[in-house]
């Protein structure tokens, strides 16, 4: 498939997401701008616009487009908002969020150095200004805090780690798969004054675990 054919396949995917989800037009426009085929391994490029997760090496996966769309919508971010991602993977999800908030405000922490290095190269090549840090996302990124929104692309068995709550500003959102094995739930926490959080449940999900 050449780039034009990929763009047609991407357009079809966006139309399917528009029909099947109630994701905002702004988020769908962000997904339409990001060439997902540039983020998947070469041999899987022809499947880049199927609405499913795909393997990206190191036992990790790129999430299905509908999940990226739903999570991006739940972040409820605007241009210029500072966002922290835990789990860069191939960088696709961060690129989508970056299309919404703009350059220089998305920070991402990745545990596997090789994935972080590949994602950095990809961001440079495609023109995304996302800041990639190698480390354990459980510790957050205090040097760049506070964030307006934080999200995890791997499941936290015991709930959102405290440092991530501390790095998110009052009124800020944290979107994360919480729980182990087959009992993960997608939750959105909103941080309130004094460290309280409001919690919303957004249904059952299946993510790779936080290492
Ligand atoms: N957003 C990614 C999805 C990656 S899958 C994408 O669009 O491709 C989850 C990622 O979380 C994997 O890359 C995995 O290595 C990473 N991860 C797992 N545990 C982590 C931890 N403790 N800190 C940071 N990243 C972690």
> Which of these, 95, 43, 27, 73, lies nearest to 186 by C-alpha position?
73
Average pLDDT, the chain: 96
Average pLDDT over residues 64-79: 98
DSSP 8-state class, residue 43? G
User: How many helices, marked H, and strands, marked E, lie in the chain?
Assistant: 6, 9
Among the ranges given (36-40, 80-84, 207-211), the one the predictor scored with the smallest mean pLDDT? 207-211
Residue 198 above 90 pLDDT?
yes
> Which of these, 123, 38, 139, lies nearest to 131 by C-alpha position?
123
Residue 195 above 90 pLDDT?
no
Residue 2 above 90 pLDDT?
no
Average pLDDT over residues 104-111: 98
Alpha-carbon separation of residue 55 from 40, 52, 90, 128 (angstroms): 8, 10, 10, 22
Residue 32 above 90 pLDDT?
yes
Q: Give the pLDDT of residue 141.
A: 98
Distance from first CA to last CA of the chain, Å, rounded?
35
In the reported structure, the alpha carbon of residue 58 is separated from the centroid of ligand 1 by a whole-number distance in angstroms of: 10
Question: How would you class 139 by CB atoms within 10 Å of its CB: exposed for 0-12, middle for 13-18, buried for 19 or more?
Answer: middle
Task: Return the half-sphere exposure (C-beta side, CA atoms, 13 A cut-off) of residue 105.
Answer: 20
Residue 128 above 90 pLDDT?
yes
Enumerate residues lining ligand 1, CB below 6 A: 56, 60-63, 86-87, 89-90, 92-93, 109-112, 115, 136-138, 153-154, 208, 210-211
Residue nearest to atom 11 of ligand 1 (CA): 87
- The Cα–Cα gap between 198 and 191 comes to 7
Q: Among this protein's residues, is 33 annotated catalytic?
A: no
In the reported structure, the alpha carbon of residue 153 is separated from the centroid of ligand 1 by a whole-number distance in angstroms of: 6
Catalytic residue among 63, 108, 131, 143: 63
Specify the CATH number of the domain 53-204.
3.40.50.150
């Amino acid at each position: 498939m050449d780039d034009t054919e990929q763009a047609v396949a991407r357009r079809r995917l966006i139309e399917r997401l528009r029909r099947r989800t109630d994701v905002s037009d702004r988020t769908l426009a962000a997904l339409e701008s990001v060439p997902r085929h540039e983020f998947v391994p070469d041999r899987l490029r022809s499947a880049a616009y199927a609405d499913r997760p795909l393997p990206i090496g190191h036992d990790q996966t790129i999430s299905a487009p509908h999940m990226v769309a739903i999570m991006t919508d739940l972040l409820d971010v605007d241009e210029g908002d500072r966002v922290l991602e835990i789990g860069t993977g191939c960088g696709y999800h961060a690129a989508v969020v970056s299309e919404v908030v703009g350059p220089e405000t998305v920070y991402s922490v990745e545990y596997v150095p090789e994935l972080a290095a590949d994602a950095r190269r990809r961001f440079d090549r495609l023109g995304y200004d996302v800041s990639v840090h190698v480390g354990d996302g459980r510790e957050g990124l205090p040097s760049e805090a506070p964030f307006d929104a934080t999200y995890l692309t791997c499941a936290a068995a015991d709930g959102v780690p405290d440092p991530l709550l501390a790095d998110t500003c009052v009124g800020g959102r944290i979107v994360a798969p919480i729980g182990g094995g087959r009992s993960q739930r997608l939750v959105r926490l909103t941080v309130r004054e004094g460290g309280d959080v409001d919690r919303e449940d957004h249904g059952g999900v299946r993510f790779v675990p936080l290492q």
